Amino acid sequence: METNNSFKEIMKESAKDRYRSVLKRFPEINEDEIEIGYDFSTPYACIGCYNDTSKGDTVLKFIVLVGPFFFELFDDGEKEAVIAHELGHYIYKKNHDSSKTERLLDEFEQLESYYKRKNSEEKIIITYSDKEKRRIKEIQDLYNTYEIYADNEAVKRGYGKQKLSALEKIVKKHYDYLDQMSKEAVKARIERLKAMEEKLGI
Ligand SMILES: [Zn+2]
């Protein structure tokens, strides 16, 4: 019963209306291009796309997905900043060909989950080869560029402070849950936002 109610609350809260004020700060995004929805398997938030069949077979629609920790961890301002960051990813996708980045990130995820499985099933610690290390560094750099772009978009729309405190909360409370890629990136992103805060008074 309680679960049901809180699920309803979450659905209500994740509705697009709730975040219309964020969308308003992105005049280049037409509200019809994007949806906001809940996905229990997304920890914080991400951007995905699906075929909007209500408008014919092949109309691709983007959706910002928010998950359980989004509601558990962030206050209202931080939630808006996180949505703004995801909209930043959307703008990047619109203006760049990000298929290479996505393919490389998929590759990394497969490699990481393969090693995780090996570690837990066979109880052996496997270390990356030099070639894999170089590859991972290349992917990490791409991932950082991607995240920094989205952070910059959130800052430009006036959410710098809130984005910084959202990231600080993740590090403080969930650092161990993060995958290796995010661990490497998140502290650098915090330092970067702090420096911007000092310089520009964001
Ligand atoms: Zn991101």
Q: How far is CA 33 from the centre of its chain?
A: 18
What was the pLDDT predicted at 119?
66
178 C-alpha to ligand 1 centroid (Å): 13
Name the nearest CA neighbour of 48 among 59, 35, 57, 58. 35
Assign 56 a pLDDT band (cuts: 50, 70, 90).
low
What was the pLDDT predicted at 165?
97
Tokens encoding 138:
């290349």
2 C-alpha to ligand 1 centroid (Å): 32
Most confident of 111-120, 138-147, 165-174: 165-174
DSSP 32: G
86 C-alpha to ligand 1 centroid (Å): 6
Distance CA 105, CA 87 (A): 19
87 C-alpha to ligand 1 centroid (Å): 9
Neighbours of ion ligand 1 (CB under 5 A): 147, 150
- Which pTM value belongs to this model? 0.82
Helix spans in 43-179 (H): 68-73, 76-95, 99-122, 130-156, 160-174
185 C-alpha to ligand 1 centroid (Å): 10
For the chain, how big is the Rg over CA atoms in Å? 18
44 C-alpha to ligand 1 centroid (Å): 10
Q: pLDDT by residue (tens digit) across 6-47?
A: 555 555 556 777 888 999 999 999 888 888 888 888 999 999
Name residues whose C-beta falls within 8 Å of residue 12's C-beta, 6 or more positions apart in sequence.
18
pLDDT average, residue stretch 43-60: 78
